[in-house]
Structure 1
């Protein structure tokens, strides 16, 4: 535990705080409702805090477990990598996560601005930002999709983005696929802004 706090303090705080807040709001329905993103209100200048707080809560145990497992595998690794690359690594990681969390919902706010009954929650946008940032550095790493199906990260990224676009238009599963898509794109953009050399590095992984 001490090693995590010392080497990856930002990821450790996000991880612990998100778990505690999510579990607490499972039984606190008032706070749960206050934290949820409501595009109708946000687009009218109200409940702006939910752009941030909606990422601190989750729908149920399954939702929380899936997001936190993904964050555990890639969030801590990304922060550790960024710290090796720059003295600003901790700050850069925080920016990728927080901006990924907030800005990934902007598209949803515009899309659902007139939908009074629409709500959204979860840290998926921020976690997608973290995941796709890491993929830029190591595109050929193998991912276990659903912890079973092996797939190189670059292929997963392409399929994931394509699925997000399709699901945003066609799926009726209650999942905010737009947030996933925009979070992933933002993670890529911020990583390139911080490290422009990551583009030739990414290409070189395939050209040798």
Structure 2
């Protein structure tokens, strides 16, 4: 992997500074976290600021590690400014979907860069759908069997699992923010690199399938 771009380093640093401030300052954390009631009262800044807070150092590390893994691929594909559009657009898309799905739960709260990072991941997949991804701590091959998974299959599989998790609601993970972030990554990447629609039309449309399924399920009351 090539060296991290300075934009990525700055984002990781800002996330770390903001998060560690929140770890040690309860009032700061409460003021800037995502909270449906506060947002509906007019504190819209929380939809952005919450993406720079984390609950624990482990939570922070996992999100920043994901950003570390996929940022360069997106920067190579859409440039530094385009990457920032994807990152912040995905962050806000994740917050908007969370607000949409939890608008009647005024006590709903969330923090974390997961929406932005998921958007960066989905952007990387849209840019290179045929690239193979390998699981950490597992071998790349077993004998003649390649254990890599093509990006578009990984993206569709993850999104379908996220829909299942959103429907089941059996954990405290903000799956709706993840899904919203992926929508942002998909949409903004295609806006920035519209040639993908002609270069990889079939796969690009397949990557939109989980998005269509989510909103059909919501519309029909199945979610």
User: For 2:189 and 2:66, how far apart are their aligned partners in 1?
Assistant: 19
- Contact 1:54–1:120 (Cα < 8 Å) also in 2: yes
Give 1:91-102 correspondences, 5 Å limit: 91-102=81-92
TM-score when scaled to structure 1?
Answer: 0.84
TM-score by length of 2: 0.79
**Cα offsets for 1:14-61 (capped at 9, x unmatched):** 11111222123212211111121001221232x211111101011112
- Choose the corresponding residue for 1:50, options 46, 62, 85: 46
Report 1:42-121 matches (<5 A): 42-45=39-42, 47-82=43-78, 89-121=79-111
Any idea what the Cα deviations from partners look like across 1:155-191, whole Å, max 9, x if unmatched?
A: 1101111011111110321111111111111211111
CA RMSD of aligned residues (A): 2.1
Structure 1: gaps spanning 5 or more residues: 83-88
Structure 1 pair 24/144, CA: closer, same or farther in 2 (3 Å)? farther
Where does residue 175 of structure 1 map in the other structure?
A: 173
For residue 92 of structure 1, give the secondary structure of its aligned residue in structure 2.
Answer: helix
Q: How many residues align?
A: 194
CA contact (8 A) 2:63 2:114 kept: yes
User: Partner residue of 2:132?
Assistant: 142
Is 1:32 aligned to 2:32, yes or no?
no
Residue aligned with 2:103, SS: coil
> Relative to structure 2, which stretch is displaced further, 119-128 or 100-109?
100-109
Q: Residues 11 and 79 of structure 1 are in contact (CA less than 8 Å); yes or no, is this contact kept in structure 2?
A: no
What SS does the corresponding residue of 1:105 show, helix, strand or coil? helix
Which residue in the other structure is 1:85 paired with? none
* Residue from 190, 198, 201 that aligns with 2:199: 201
- Show structure 2 runs of 5+ residues with no match: 139-146, 204-223
C-alpha distance in structure 1 between counterparts of 2:134 and 2:48, whole Å: 29
Structure 1 CA distance for aligned equivalents of residues 175 and 58 of structure 2? 17
State the shift of 1:203 in Å: 4.8
> Would the aligned equivalents of 1:100 and 1:183 in 2 still touch at CA under 8 Å?
yes
Q: Does 1:127 align with 2:123?
A: no
1:190 to 184, 188, 191: 188
Contact 1:39–1:110 (Cα < 8 Å) also in 2: no
Residue-by-residue CA offset, 1:67-122 (whole Å, 9 max, x unaligned): 1111001113321332xxxxxx2221111111111122112112222323210110
SS of 2:34's equivalent in the other structure is coil
